[in-house]
Amino acid sequence: MSSATFDVLRKVTTATITTMLLKKGIRRCWMNGPKPLVPGGERLIGPAFTLRFVPAREDLATPESWAKPTSTRGAIEAMPEGVIAVADAMGIVSAGIFGDILCARMKKRSVTALVTDGALRDRTGVLASGLPVWCAGLAAPASVNGLTFVGWNEPIGCGGCAIFPGDIIVVDDDGAVVIPQDLLEFVAHEGAEHELYESWVFTEVERGVKLPGLYPPDDDAKARYAQWRKRPA
């Protein structure tokens, strides 16, 4: 995926992305659960780096397990620059998958963002780390309290969506969406066009035009939009 496409996509809201994917028959692309820990930040994009947890078992999910090769620590060291880490926590919000130290290390490694249908822990420290986070809650207990980490870059479920490593993730104030790789170009360019159209609709609404016939447009509105579309920049 080219950085030019990313630049186009960066101006497309997650709301518009879901509408473009619906045109391709894809309804399951918005993750139910992850919300921005700090709303109002900029939209972020990156390829998915997946993390997978299963439920805790008391003989496996222990602080000692953090030193094993298959650990969240190992996963973080395997993350390439620019990825968005997506963690399948099975929607469990009573254990925080990552805290301040792990987030700080991810930030250091230039990870773009962390997305999970689970919880984070150590809110103050996570905010201080500067890592952008989309999560479903905050909880004091460590991951091992409810979860066992089992691997990275496998297909996962997150918030009711299938996420495959390398899928494109976009996050903004409306949450997190996943774009299949082969639909990236379509979504970026149709989406940008759609944003332009909506900005025109907005000006029409501002001047008092009614919605029926405008959004979606009838022939008259299409003509007016085509006219506006040709305006000098």
Q: Least CB distance from residue 115 to a second copy, whole Å?
A: 13
Residues 70-129 that bind a second copy (CB under 8 A): 71, 73-74, 76-77, 90, 93-94, 96, 99-102, 104-105, 108, 121-124
Angle 184-206/219-229 helices, nearest 10 degrees? 100
Judged by CB under 8 A, the number of residues near a second copy is 88
Whichever of 33 and 112 has its CB closer to a second copy, that residue is 33
**Shortest CB 233 distance to a second copy, Å:** 22
Burial of 135 (0-12, 13-18, 19+ CB in 10 A): buried
Q: What are the backbone dihedrals phi and psi of residue 75, each rounded to the nearest 5 degrees, phi first?
A: -60, -45
Tokens of 118: 């689970």
Site for a second copy in 134-163 (CB under 8 A): 138-142, 144-146, 148, 150-151, 154-157, 160-163
Site string for a second copy, 11-50 (x = CB under 8 A): --xxx-xxx--xxxxxxxxx-x--x---x-----------
Least spacing, CB of residue 199 vs a second copy, in Å: 10
Binding string, residues 166-205; x marks residues near a second copy by CB under 8 A: ------xxxx-x--x-----------------x--xx--x
Residue 55: CB atoms within 10 A of its CB come to 10
Backbone angles phi, psi at 97, to 5 degrees: -70, -35
Beta carbon of residue 193, minimum distance to a second copy (angstroms, whole number)? 14
Contact segment (CB under 8 A) with a second copy among 1-9, 55-63, 184-192, 222-230 equals 55-63
The secondary structure of 6-51 as a DSSP string is HHHHTTS-HHHHHHHHHHTT----B-SS-EESSTT---EEEEEEEE
Q: Residue 91 region, left (φ>0) first, then alpha (ψ -120 to 50), else beta?
A: left
Closest CB 113 distance from a second copy, rounded Å: 16
> In the complex with a second copy, which residue's Cβ is closer, 63 or 232?
63
Closer of 58 and 230 to a second copy (Cβ): 58
Distances (CA, A) of 81 to 5, 76, 120, 152, 184: 18, 11, 21, 16, 20
